[in-house]
């Protein structure tokens, strides 16, 4: 009984925990260069907003949680550039320049990325970066929300996202287990 209540509560809060996107308008001018790959990756990994709005109207919390988990996984597992380092530099720059750091800090926490200190000379790190990611699909996230609890069978996109997590798998991921 307690586990049913726990997972019901978890499904209710997961969309809040995962629904993060670093948007260009949140990035201070001084951080535009260092944050550009992060903004591009975040936008690429974001499922179609119209699809999300429709799903919220359908009140399908498990589906919404699966989509948000797919999005954060797309960001955390991307290997087209050093996401952890660039995200940390972006977050530090935004903190120094009083930008809206809430989204980038939540992504940093969800991905377990370590923080670092930004200096303007660090922008050389992003020279020549070509962000390569595949947007997660609503159908893949739907399969994840319908998968057996803790299931691990699924597909991988070329950004390394793993689908097929049930609510128990999402709960474990959200709790860092």
pLDDT tens across 24-80, in order?
Answer: 888 999 999 999 999 999 999 998 655 555 555 555 677 778 888 899 999 999 999
Q: Does residue 164 carry a pLDDT above 50?
A: no
How many domains is the chain built from? 1
Q: Is the pLDDT at 14 greater than 70, yes or no?
A: no
Q: Which residues pair with 156 in a beta bridge?
A: 162
For residue 177, the model assigns a pLDDT of 41
Q: How far is the C-alpha of 176 from the C-alpha of 142, rounded, in Å?
A: 23
CA angle 160, 34, 109 (to 5 degrees): 50
Distances (CA, A) of 79 to 17, 143, 164: 23, 24, 21
Contact, 34 vs 89, CB < 8 A?
A: yes
**Domain with 23 in it:** 2-174
Q: What is the pLDDT of residue 32?
A: 95
Residue 146 pLDDT exceeds 50: yes
The residue with greater pLDDT, 27 or 165, is 27
User: How many other CB atoms sit within 10 Å of the CB of residue 173?
Assistant: 18
3-state secondary structure of 21: coil
Which has more pLDDT, 38 or 10? Answer: 38
Question: Distances from the Cα of 27 to the Cαs of 19, 24, 45, in angstroms?
Answer: 18, 5, 18
Tens digit of each residue's pLDDT (9 = 90 or more) over 113-129: 999 999 999 999 999 99
Say how many CA atoms lie within 13 Å of 13 toward its Cβ.
9
Angle at 72 between CA 127 and CA 63, to 5 degrees: 150
State how far the Cα of 142 lies from the Cα of 94, in Å rounded to an integer: 34
Mean pLDDT of 155-176: 36
Of 29-43, 125-139, 158-172, where does mean pLDDT reach its minimum?
Answer: 158-172
Residue 166: partners with Cβ closer than 8 Å, 6 or more residues away: 144, 145, 147, 148, 149, 150, 151
Radius of gyration of the CA atoms of the chain, in A: 16
């Amino acid at each position: 009984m307690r586990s049913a209540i726990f997972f019901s509560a978890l499904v209710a809060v997961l969309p809040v925990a995962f629904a993060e996107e670093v948007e260009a308008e949140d990035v201070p001018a001084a951080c535009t260069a260092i944050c550009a790959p992060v903004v591009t990756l975040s936008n690429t990994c974001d499922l179609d907003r119209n699809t999300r709005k429709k799903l919220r109207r359908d009140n399908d919390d498990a589906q919404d949680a699966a989509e948000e988990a797919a999005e954060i996984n797309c960001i955390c597992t991307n290997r087209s550039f050093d996401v952890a380092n660039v995200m940390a530099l972006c977050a530090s720059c935004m903190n120094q320049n009083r930008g809206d750091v809430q989204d980038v800090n939540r992504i940093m926490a969800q991905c377990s990325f370590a923080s670092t200190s930004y200096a303007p000379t660090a922008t050389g790190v992003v020279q020549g970066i070509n962000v390569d990611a595949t947007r997660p699909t609503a159908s893949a996230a739907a399969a994840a929300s319908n998968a057996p609890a803790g299931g691990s069978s699924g597909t991988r996109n070329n950004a390394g996202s793993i689908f097929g997590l049930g609510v128990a798998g999402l709960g474990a991921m959200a709790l860092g287990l």
